[in-house]
Amino acid sequence: MPQTKKEIMSFLGFASYYSQHRRDFAIHARSLYRICDKQTVFELTQERIQAYEKIRYSLNNTPLLLMPDWKLPFKLYIDACCEGQGAALNQVQIFSDKPYEGPICFISRQIKPTEARYGASQMECLCLVGALEKLHYYLDVSVFELITDFHEIRSLLNMKTPNRHMLRWQIAIQEYRGNMTIAHKAGNIHKNSDSLSRWALPNTPENPAYVPTGTETQIPIEGINITDVGTEFFEEVRDSYKLDNNCHILTSLLDKDCKDESLANSLDDISKITYDKGRFHLSDGILYHRSKHTCVMVLCSRMLIKTIPLECHDNIYSGQLSEDRTMERMKKCSLWPSWRKDVIEYCHSCDRCQKANKATCKRFGLMIHIQEPSTPWEVVHMNWVTALPPGAEKGYNAFLVIVDRYRKTPIFLPCHKDDTAMDTALLMRNRVISHTGFFKNIISGRDLKFTCALSTNLHKLLGTKLSFLTAYHPQTDGLAERMIQTLEGMIRRFCAYGLEFKHPYCFTHDWCTLIPELELAYKTSIHSSTGKTPEMLEKGWNPKLSVDTLKRDLVDIHPTASNFNLFLQKVRHHTNKSINDAFEYAKQKWDKSHNTPEFKVGDLILVSTFNVNNIKGPKKLKDSFAGLFIIKELHGTNTVQVEISGELENKHPTFLAGLVKHYTSSYKELFPLRNETPLEVPSDDQSEEKKVLKVLKERRPRGKNEREYLVRYRNPHH
């Protein structure tokens, strides 16, 4: 109970930090605030004592205190003063679709007499080390943010010339280096841990943050516990032999030490061959199988067999290694009929192995030929190039790439990165449609400019099909991707960087001025798949360039008008043949490293986490696969749609077959001790109302007095 006005003010400062999370705080604290007035005599009445007890109780119980969620990051507030140390462990959790930061626990203690000689830097570092030690069971392998009002504590991890205290503390916190970030917070708003340090609890054994006052902590010497298999186990083994025909016959033959041919002939074929070779041995009623270098126990009861794979595979000293290594370990321990089959089945159905192991086999998904167009500008590839410096008078910082799949003719259109779907539609209307007409099919990525309602409805009215790429598979749009690489390389060669001019024939920082010349250069160069230039396939002749002046004295040969149509037909036939040959060559190389997918609706699968970056925790310890999921629908042979949930709930539910693999379920009858992995089923909330989870970005469109927000919904697939 506070005994002075200063202690009352310190307590109220700490309690007011969490006042927004506590109902009726102002009513209960009103009488305590009155006692802090300079004109009021300090007197603890019954009303004030009851108010103090109510506030103190609310700070140590629900709903203020939260249960920790180890999937979310923590926040550790620390503070130290000349009287004591304090720390508060908080966490931000979602309640009613709103972020709520609440405390997990508080710790504080008074400093020891030997610590009173420390300076400010040593005192703060001691507080940090003490908080990490006491809260290790919360923060071990967890991501957390350390918040302090002391700037110099940031240098503790990288201090080059520490003293003996700092060096010891620096080594003590190295295990948290990868998971801990340090942030500064001003002292006047750092009240939650500041009050804990200024009004610290006594350093007594009753305090959870107690530190012994001795200079060294004595470590008690304890004996090593050695366990052995009890006699009950061997009794169960002997009793199980009576229930198995082969084992009962073998024990009878070996116990009598006589060869009864009629009894031996009643064994099954495998046991009979092994018995004739003299491999079985009976000792103290236990049947053993002898090989060249080992002698192992023979088991026949499933109740006894189920513990052997658990120890030889799942145990930490076994390491959950491959089936071959598990089999080598198993055959030195025990033997039973069909033990090899059981070991293989046990390893294949191991949930942790399926999720943690890297995929070393061929990926699913053979190459599929996209239907080639029969006329120019029927099928096009579209993509955007962004992150460019502002160019031209309008400050373009991106350009749109449109490639004709039939003739490989490109169109490069400078634009802005933040252009809307309407801006993109107007750009194509003014610059593209007048030359090409409307497209039959557009192959592009899942950009918002195409997936929005305006774009999908507009292309539906125009009779244009939108073919979107599968997630993490840009090879579908390989024509545009390769075109972009070539164009970026040409721009990089000619455009100046800073004060350095890279090319003797071009002195410009504006990449937009290079687009017309570079587009013509690409159109007049021979494409590897067709063997012709895009201009030759489109017009039947190549435009005149500056290099053609060297050929002005040569005889110019042109086809006659009567043969020109035949010439174009042969060119198109040659183009189609070259495209098919190029595809067959690429398909042959691709299919060597891929298998035919064999998925069907309802299969249980795991999804690769190679491209998933929103899973919490260190990347080195991230599982290679996540799940368990169920296939909802098949899109062709190489794409599956799953019922997404859990860690991947914000991802698009359609995945390439090469990013998923079959999940082998464990048989409960064979392995009853193994824990089953529950199927992650999404919630049945089909409400049309979309709830905003997070605001990702905001912008102000040009020429409009309003703001637009890019948000992430809690239920993005409804």
Pull the structure tokens for residue 506.
Answer: 């071009």
pLDDT interval class at 718 (50, 70, 90)? very low
Residue pointed to by tokens 């008008």: 561
Describe the crossing of helices 191-198 and 5-17 by its angle, rounded to 10 degrees: 150
Query: Chain-centre distance of CA 132, in angstroms?
Result: 27
Phi, psi of 641 (to 5 degrees): -115, 130
Residues 277, 183 share a domain: no
- What is the pLDDT confidence band of residue 414, given thresholds at 50, 70 and 90? very high
Q: Provide mean pLDDT across the span 279-295.
A: 82
Kindly compute the dihedral angle of the four CA atoms of residues 605, 609, 614, 617, in this order, to the nearest 10 degrees.
110
Rounded distance between C-alpha atoms, residue 595 and residue 432, angstroms? 40
- Indicate if 80 and 186 belong to the same structural domain: yes
Residue 488 has pLDDT above 70, yes or no: yes
CB 661 within 8 A of CB 607: no
Q: Identify the CA nearest to 370 among candidates 446, 476, 464, 463.
A: 476
Does residue 386 share a domain with residue 348? no
- Which of 13-17, 316-320, 620-624 reaches the highest mean pLDDT? 316-320
- 290 within a domain of the structure (yes/no): yes
Greatest mean pLDDT range, 262-276, 416-430, 582-596:
416-430
β-bridge mates for residue 364, sequence order: 595
User: How many CB atoms neighbour CB 390 within 10 A?
Assistant: 13
Q: Is the pLDDT of residue 669 over 60?
A: yes
Residue 414, CA distances (Å) to 143, 515, 713 in order: 43, 8, 32
Q: Is residue 33 part of a domain?
A: yes
- Number of domains comprising the chain: 3
Contact 479, 522 (CB under 8 A): no
Residue 535 shares a structural domain with residue 396: yes
- Rounded to whole angstroms, the Cα distance separating 303 from 305 reads 6
CB-based contact 534:522 (threshold 8 Å)? yes
φ/ψ of 416, rounded to 5, equals -110, 150
Domain region containing 276: 231-356
Instruction: Report the CATH number that the domain containing residue 323 is assigned in CATH.
Output: 1.10.340.70
DSSP lists the bridge partners of residue 622 as none
In-domain check, residue 213? no
For residue 221, the model assigns a pLDDT of 40
Q: Are 605 and 640 in contact (CB under 8 A)?
A: yes
The span from the first CA to the last CA of the chain, in angstroms, equals 54
H/E stretch holding 260 reads: none
CB 106 within 8 A of CB 64: no
pLDDT tens digits, residue range 430-471? 888 888 888 999 888 888 788 888 788 888 888 888 888 877
Band of the pLDDT at 415, cuts 50, 70, 90? very high
Q: Are residues 416 and 337 in the same domain?
A: no
**Pair 339, 485 in one domain:** no
pLDDT tens for each residue of 27-67:
667 777 777 777 776 777 777 777 777 777 776 665 667 88
Range in 163-172, 332-341, 502-511, 639-648 the model is least confident about = 502-511
Q: Is the dihedral of CA 384, 388, 390, 392 positive or negative?
A: negative
Q: Judge whether 322 and 356 are in contact, CB under 8 Å.
A: no
> Residue 297 in 3-state DSSP?
strand
Mean pLDDT along residues 261-279: 81
- What backbone phi and psi angles, to 5 degrees, belong to 429? -65, -40
CA distances from 43 to 28, 40, 79, 195, 616 (A): 17, 9, 30, 22, 52
Kindly give the pairing relationship between strand 465-468 and strand 441-444: parallel
**What's the CA gap between 470 and 472, in Å, rounded?**
6
Domain-located, residue 171: yes
Output the domain CATH number for residue 122.
3.30.420.10
pLDDT tens figures, 558-617: 555 556 666 667 767 777 777 778 878 888 887 888 888 888 888 888 888 887 877 777
Q: Quick one: 432 and 528 in the same domain?
A: yes
Is 698 among the domain residues? no
Q: What is the mean pLDDT of the chain?
A: 79
Preceding amide of 63 cis, omega within 30: yes
Residues 326 and 428 in one domain: no
> Residue 688: what pLDDT?
52
**Are 395 and 350 part of one and the same domain?**
no
The residue out of 510, 538, 571 marking a domain boundary is 571
Residue 429 lies in a domain: yes
pLDDT digits (tens, 9 = 90+) for 164-207: 777 788 788 888 887 888 888 876 666 666 767 776 777 777 77
In terms of domains, do 78 and 175 share one? yes
Residues 134 and 240 in one domain: no
Is 712 within the bounds of a domain? no
Same-domain check for residues 534 and 423: yes
CA–CA distance, 483 with 479 (Å, rounded to integer): 6
- Per-residue pLDDT tens digits for 92-117: 888 877 888 888 888 888 888 888 88
For 569, counting Cβ atoms within 10 Å of its Cβ (0-12 exposed, 13-18 middle, 19+ buried), the class is: exposed
**Does residue 586 sit within a domain?**
no
The pLDDT value recorded for residue 24 is 65
